[in-house]
Amino acid sequence: MLDIQFIRDNPDLVQEKSRQKGYEIDVKQLLELDAERRTRLTQIEELRRRRNELAAEMKNQKPSSEHIAAGRQLKEELATLDEDLKKIGDVVDQKINRALEPVKRTLDEHTDKLDALLADMSDAQDRLDSLWEKVSGESEQTKKDIQDIKTQIGLAP
């Protein structure tokens, strides 16, 4: 996964390399969403700072109706911005998941091939073990030859 700062610094390169690798992702739109996300984060931080200031003003005293109204307003604004931030994150996740779908399919295919290869190796190990048992009374050279074969194909301990 690329670092978002790298994408911000190199949007054309990321777009071209993504296209070359078969990923259909709109880097411009991704960066627009990132800018919206960063804006929301800044707004949320500012509202939290104001909320903390308001709480400090009311410390050890009964809150006035203005303080209560301001606190409610801040709470509502924070809730709205948090929801916006979540929606932006969901859209970004969807776009990235859609873009990476070809990679996932390729990984799944390779995983299936690897599983089949491991099963074949397990079968080969079983056959070699069976042979080993049959020749256990045979010569030391035959045992060494079988052990060498196991080592060559990666089945020896």
Average pLDDT value for the chain: 84
pLDDT computed for residue 109 by the predictor? 85
Confidence band for 136, pLDDT divided at 50, 70 and 90: low
The full set of domains in the chain, from first to last, is 1-99 (1.10.287.40), 110-157 (no CATH)
The 3-state secondary structure of the chain reads CCCHHHHHHCHHHHHHHHHHCCCCCCHHHHHHHHHHHHHHHHHHHHHHHHHHHHHHHHCCCCCCHHHHHHHHHHHHHHHHHHHHHHHHHHHHHHHHHHHCHHHHHHHHHHHHHHHHHHHHHHHHHHHHHHHHHHCCCCCHHHHHHHHHHHHHCCCCC
- 151, 120 contact by CB (below 8 A): no
Given a cut of 80, whether residue 98 has pLDDT beyond it is no
